Structure formats: structure tokens, C-alpha cells
Amino acid sequence: MSIIEQNKLEPVSLKDVTINDHFWAPRRKINREQTIPFQYKQCKETGRIDALKLNWKQGDPEIHPFWDSDVAKWIEAASYSLATDPDAELSKLVDEVIELISAAQQEDGYLNTYFTAVKPGKRWTDLRDAHELYCAGHFIEAGVAHFQATGKCSLLDIVCRYADYIDSVFGPEEGKIKGYPGHQEIELALIKLYHVTGEARYFRLSQFFIEERGNEPHYFTEEKKKYGPGYFEELFSTFANLKEYNQSHKPVREQDKVVGHSVRAMYMYCAMADLAKENGDEKLREACDRLWNNLHYKNMYVTGGIGSTAEYEGFTCDYDLPNESAYAETCAAIGLVFWNHRMLQLDCDRKYADALERALFNGVISGISLDGKKYFYENPLESLGEVHRKEWFGVSCCPPNISRLLGSLGQYIYSQSDSEAIIHLYVSGSAKFKLANQEIKLNQTTNYPWDGNVSIQLEVENPVSFALKLRIPSWTKSAGLKVNGEMVSLENILDKGYVRIEREWKNHDQIELILPMTIEKVYAHPSVRQNRNHVALQRGPLVYCIEGIDNTHYLSQLSLPRDKELTAIFDQKLLGGIVKIVGNGEITEVYDSEDLYQTKPFTTKSFEMTAVPYYAWDNREAGPMKVWIPES
């Protein structure tokens, strides 16, 4: 048995998890009541939904090749919401859109509005650029989510027909296309479809797309020779290495450095982890490990944001992490959550849950306003005051992506094996596990992320033996544990950053986890040239920033003395109720002179600095922002 097979976990089903805390529950409520209806309106008004009617004609505004994916992600987000909070009106709306999708599907199973209405006869001629398989993947994910949420097969049957058709077109067999998507996505979607249907052909097709990528002769080179320039030829002609841009520069098992477009990379790595888990494939897992190390140790922002350049929405070189020009696309941080969640099921190692949590609490939810109506496509770590969230985008992948993550949040909190119940994230609510032939319920009570005290109570019908594992986040330095009121030493029960308590559990047994939250000053690796002599502030899982509204509109003149203490204060009235950080900073006094340069050093004066969680910036009046603060 491989290491992967020994350690395999399964997430607890979304339907078996409830969330009723003060941090996530309000956001999920806003997602249900504001965001999902608003996104439907945007998809309707911008023509994305009506494009499914296939009545486009020459002279009309052109349907975008990505549009199907936006509609599919909206259905997926709505389905997750229906799974936990049934809503007859939303269900009816989803059914209406599914009817349009059904009518748009061709007799052979093909389903794509752009290539059916705008470019008929051009199917599969632009895999590199036109997102045909990417859109198919999002339809498949939506079909799986809708079936799991509602039990209805209406969309699942549609996507199975489409997947069957795609399987008849692509593969290693004689006469089939030996290509793969320019934008990865369908690979992970097919694994989901395989899990729901048990149809092995979907698994093999996912495996084909992954294993074929990067082989010679290079498919995209041959495609261009055969069919001519792709949809984005003008843009892509400016890229130094287009093969690296879409991670087709070498076979996936040989890749060891994150390159190219960050979202494409994350979705591909997700599929690699899925396949490694299904097959017990150690070599594929080793490739994931190499890529994970390169990303997390050399190419990730302190917020969990990834992809530093807007030029091609991706990675540049190791340790290149500019702040003001940081791209850090919301979709990329979401992809990082997806990938770390999959790695966590392969191996219950704290580093994956820590990375998931960092991205989730910082780089992901910064992408949506507190009222759930505006979005960041990119998430800089510094702004002069000109960067603001918007209601929608021409390419609007991020809004429905963040909505589907919020809707499915419950499945990221817990996992289980045959003999273990595992808590990765601390969120008030409950979860049901099937262990030792009975249902076990865990009830969490906590004020996380403002407080690190977590209380867990068990509900069991009969005394039962199993192991309970609790993550000790790397940001806490002196965790404590009590079982039924008695202190328990962590010395011999830590397993890759998780406390493992194996015993016979009885009804109403109580576990208390104490995770002290102190204000930490974070320093970047010296090779990150942009952050030399700067410091970032973190408390618990949250990264902080300073905004002009709380401090001064000349944030560049503010610094933090190394030896001054900082204080955490809960402010119920600020930004929906947050813990802010306050302390003595220093601000440079500017002489009354118009000279741009001078030989006399400037002096400083004390200044009361206030920092707020990074996710909450740009929710008040416009102004500058900084994560990394000069240290004096």
C-alpha cells in the first residue's frame, strides 16, 4: 500500500456541516441573499444567459468564448446555497437556466454557445485560446453540484452527454484528437463526475488530458499550423514563453517550478492531486510536492495571493513580489484553496491547512466587498487610492468563483478517514461523521478569527473509539488542550501539526483548544527586494494593512519603530466588528521647502497608527493602503 493510500482522507459532505458563527455565517447569508441574485441579474443583463438561446446573428455584439463558464459557476454557487438553505424561488431560477442549457445542447451532446452560434463548424480548432474545454469543465462542475444539492438529474444528464461526446473526440486511441485544453479546468471536473457516476471513462479522460500535456510533438504548435492563429494570437504573440504560460512547456511529471498563468496552474495542480489520490500515484504526488514548495516558499504573497504580474496574470521569477503592482487575482487565491484542500486529503499535514486558511481569510475574501456587491479582480498589497472594487467585469470569472467558494465553505472545515475525525478550520457550527458504524456529531463553539479559544462537544449514541485530530496553526506559539476539563500535554500527540487524541469517547465529552493569538511582525525573505526593511502585521490567520482613512493619506511617510508595543482591540462599530491593531508609529515631518532633494535628514514625530484586516480594506472612503510598513 502506498503512502497516499494509507493517508487518504475524505471531506465531510457539505450537507453534513452547519455554520452558525459570527464571521462566516453573515457572509454566507449575504452570498445567498445579495450576491447570487445580483450575479444572476448581471448574467442576464450582459447577455450571458440569453446567449444560450443561440439566436445570435451577424452584427450583434459578439458572444464571448468565456460566457458559458460564468453561467455555470453561478449555477454551481446557487446549488451549494440550495444544499444548505433551500429556496424555492432560487431553485426555480436555476431550473429555468438549466432548461436553456438543455435546449442549447446539440444532438451529439456538444454544448458551447460561442462555437454553436458564432463559429459553427469550428469546434476543437482553437483549444489553446478559445476555452472550449474550460467551459465544458465548469458545466460539468455545475452539473455535479446541482445533483448533489437537489438530487435532480436535469443538469447532470446534460453534462454526462457532453462528457460522453468529448470522450468520443479526445484520447489516445486512433482517430481521436491528441489535444488538451489551453486553460485547464475540465481535468478536475471529470474527476468529480467520475465520483458521482462511477463511470471510469471520465477518470481516464481526465488522466489523458493531464498526461498528454507538454508532450512532443507539441499539440498547440501543430494546431496553429493546421488551423491558423488562435483567438488571442495578438495578445499571446507578446509573451516570451507561451508554452510556460499554459504550463505545456514540459510533461506535468517533470515540472518543478510554478510558471505562467496562475489560475491555469492551480486548476492543473488540483487535477494532478486528484489523480495521485485515486491511483496512489507517488510520482505524480512528488511533482505536486515540488510545485507546492516552489510556490509557497518563493512565489506567494503574505496574503495568500499568487501571480504577481498583470501582463499574463501569473508568475514571474522566484521572490518577485511587488506590492503596488501585485496582480494576485482573486480566482488564483481561490485556486490555491482548492489545491491545498486536495493536498490535505492526500496527507493530513498542517502546512496545507495553514496555506488554505491564509488564502481564504486574506487573498480570497478581500476579493468581495462586505456588502457582497462589488469585487476585486486583482488584489494589490499597496494602493495610492486609485484601486476599487467593481460590480462586474467584461471577463467576470472572479465574482461567481468567490460566490461558489463561500457557498461550499462547509466542505473545507472537516475530513475523516475510517478511524479519524479531523478538524482543519475553526468555525462555530457542527458536523456529522460516520465512524464505527454510528453517527458522531461534533459541535464547535468559537469566536475565531478574533479569538483562538475553541470548544468542541461530542454527541454519540454509545461509547465509541476513534481518533480526533485538531490542527494547531503555525501562527500560535503555545497551544493548550483540555479533555473533559483536564489539561493534556501535546508533547507526544502531535502528528504533522495536528493533535491526535485517540480514546473511547462518550456522549457530551468536551475538548477545549486554546490557541493564543498574539500580534506578530512578519518579515519577508531577504530576497524579496520590495520588502527589505519592511514589516507586515498578522494576528491569528489575519494579515493586516493600514489605510489612509485611519492614519494619514501620506502612508509612505509612516513607519513602525521596532521596539514599540502594539495592541489588539475589538471594535464592534468598525467594518462590521473587527479586531484592530493600534500602536505608536512614526511619521516623517516634511520641511517647509519645495526642494525635491536636500542634504539635511528629515525628523519624525510619534503617530497613533491603526491597522485593520486586509480583507476589509476599500470598504469605506477611497484612500491609500499598505500591507508592508517601513520599520524604523
Residues catalogued as catalytic: 313, 397
CA dihedral 418, 422, 428, 430 (to 10 degrees): 10
Measured from the Cβ of residue 593, the count of other Cβ atoms closer than 10 Å reads 8
SS (H, E, C) 318-372: CCCCCCCCCCCCHHHHHHHHHHHHHHHHHCCCHHHHHHHHHHHHHHHHHHECCCC
Residue 444 Cα distances to 15, 209, 427, 447, 471, angstroms: 16, 41, 7, 10, 14
Measured between alpha carbons, how far is 19 from 10 in angstroms, rounded to an integer? 19
- Half-sphere exposure at residue 355, Cβ-oriented, CA atoms within 13 angstroms: 27
**521, β-bridge pairs:** 537
Question: Per the structure block, which three cell numbers stand in for 323?
Answer: 506590492
Largest distance between two CA atoms of the chain: 80
Measured between alpha carbons, how far is 136 from 190 in angstroms, rounded to an integer? 10
| Closest to 451 (Cα-Cα) out of 360, 409, 514 | 514
Question: Per the structure block, which three cell numbers stand in for 449?
Answer: 478569527
Measured between alpha carbons, how far is 33 from 364 in angstroms, rounded to an integer? 20
Measured between alpha carbons, how far is 1 from 444 in angstroms, rounded to an integer? 34
Measured between alpha carbons, how far is 540 from 77 in angstroms, rounded to an integer? 28
**How many residues does the structure list for the chain?**
632
Q: What is the CA radius of gyration of the chain?
A: 25
Helix, strand, coil % in the chain, rounded to nearest 5:
40, 20, 40
